[in-house]
Amino acid sequence: MTAIATESGSPAEQLPLFDRLPAEHLFDMHVDLQPAQMIPTAVGTRLTFIARGGVIDGPRLRGEILPGGGDWLLVGTDQVGRIDVRATLRTHDGALIHYQTRGVIKIPADGLERLAAGEVLGFEQTYVRTTPKFETADERYTWLNEIVAVGYNVLSPDHIDYRIYRVL
């Protein structure tokens, strides 16, 4: 993390200007998905992916993703996917956490065909970024309610993998 000094004399001068955001790895998440439901709409194609369940594992959070959540992805006429995920996490020690994330997916022109053929689209081949939010009343995890998080994803035909960070 390197702060870049500013000399503009503006109030923003007091703020650090980073060339990289400082972050802490919270956990990785693997979610198994049911086959997508494709729904043509007036504003693009809605792809609904329902979660079968999954696993969360990392230095700050461990547990499972309960079945029934999902992604109500909208691929607009501009070919940009807009992520709309909601799920329930259950930690290794029994806490329930509501997980919601929005974000953007941009895949290569042949990406949907490659996914349909069973190919995994790696991190370098896509732009998939999310902004997770958490809600819980469990005192062991209320710190999640107060953070800004970002996620990076890898796409597969029947599952999705996330790496989630807290912005410091």
Where are the chain's structural domains?
A: 21-167
What is the pLDDT at residue 88? 99
What is the pLDDT at residue 126? 92
Q: Are 47 and 31 in contact (CB under 8 A)?
A: no
CB atoms closer than 10 angstroms to residue 136: 18
What is the pLDDT at residue 14? 85
Q: Rounded distance, CA 97 to CA 92, Å?
A: 12
Residue 155: how many CA atoms within 13 Å on its side-chain side? 27
Q: Is the model's pLDDT at 56 over the cut of 80?
A: yes
- Residues 6+ positions from 14 with CB-CB distance below 8 Å: none
Q: Is the model's pLDDT at 5 over the cut of 70?
A: no
CA angle 103, 106, 30 (to 5 degrees): 60
- Residues 6+ positions from 67 with CB-CB distance below 8 Å: 51, 52, 53
What is the pLDDT at residue 41? 95
How do residues 109-143 score in pLDDT, each as one tens digit?
Answer: 888 788 888 899 888 999 999 999 999 999 999 99
Q: Residue 113 gets which letter from DSSP?
A: H
What is the pLDDT at residue 4? 54
What is the pLDDT at residue 162? 95
What are 131's two structure tokens?
């902004």
Q: Are 101 and 131 in contact (CB under 8 A)?
A: yes
What is the pLDDT at residue 159? 94
pTM of the full predicted structure?
0.88
How do residues 58-110 score in pLDDT, each as one tens digit?
Answer: 999 999 999 999 999 999 988 899 999 999 999 999 999 999 999 999 988 88
Q: Is the model's pLDDT at 1 over the cut of 70?
A: no
Q: Residue 58 gets which letter from DSSP?
A: S
* R_g of the chain, CA atoms, integer Å: 18
State the DSSP H helix or E strand holding residue 111, giving kind and residue range, or none if neither.
Answer: helix 111-116
Task: Classify 21-167 by CATH class.
Answer: mainly beta
User: Of 90, 82, 92, which Cα lies nearest the Cα of 131?
Assistant: 82
Q: Is the model's pLDDT at 3 over the cut of 80?
A: no
What is the pLDDT at residue 83? 97
